[in-house]
Amino acid sequence: MIANDIAVPRHVAIIMDGNGRWAKRRGLPRTYGHREGAETLKRITRHCKKIGVEYLTVYAFSTENRNRPQDEITAITNLLRKYINSFDSDPERDNIRVRFIGDIDRLAPEIVRDFRSITERTRHNADAITIVIAFNYGGRDEIVRAARKAAELAAEGKLRPSDLDERSFSRLLDTEGLPEPDLLIRAGAETRLSNFLIWQSAYSELWFTDVLWPDFDEEEIDRAVRWYRGRQRKFGRVSPEGNQ
Contact present, 209 and 224 (Cβ < 8 Å):
yes
Contact present, 184 and 204 (Cβ < 8 Å):
yes
If DSSP codes are grouped into helix, strand and coil, which group holds residue 177?
A: coil
**Helix axes of 218-229 and 30-51: crossing angle, nearest 10 degrees:** 50
Q: Is 90 a catalytic residue?
A: no
* CB neighbour class for 105 (10 Å; exposed up to 12, middle 13-18, buried from 19): exposed
Sheet containing 96-101: give its strands across.
Answer: 96-101, 129-137, 55-62, 11-15, 183-186, 205-208
Instruction: Round to whole Å and give the CA distance between 41 and 177.
Output: 23
Under 8 Å CB-to-CB from 144, ≥6 apart: which residues?
A: none
Beta bridge partners of 58: 14, 133
Nearest to 17 by CA among 75, 62, 71: 62
Question: In this structure, are strands 55-62 and 11-15 parallel, antiparallel, or unpaired?
Answer: parallel
Contact present, 228 and 209 (Cβ < 8 Å):
no
DSSP secondary structure string for all residues of 12-30 = EEEE---HHHHHHHTT--H
The catalytic residue among 65, 78, 125, 195 is 65
The catalytic residue among 17, 114, 174, 182 is 17
Q: Is 17 a catalytic residue?
A: yes
Catalytic residue numbers read: 17, 65
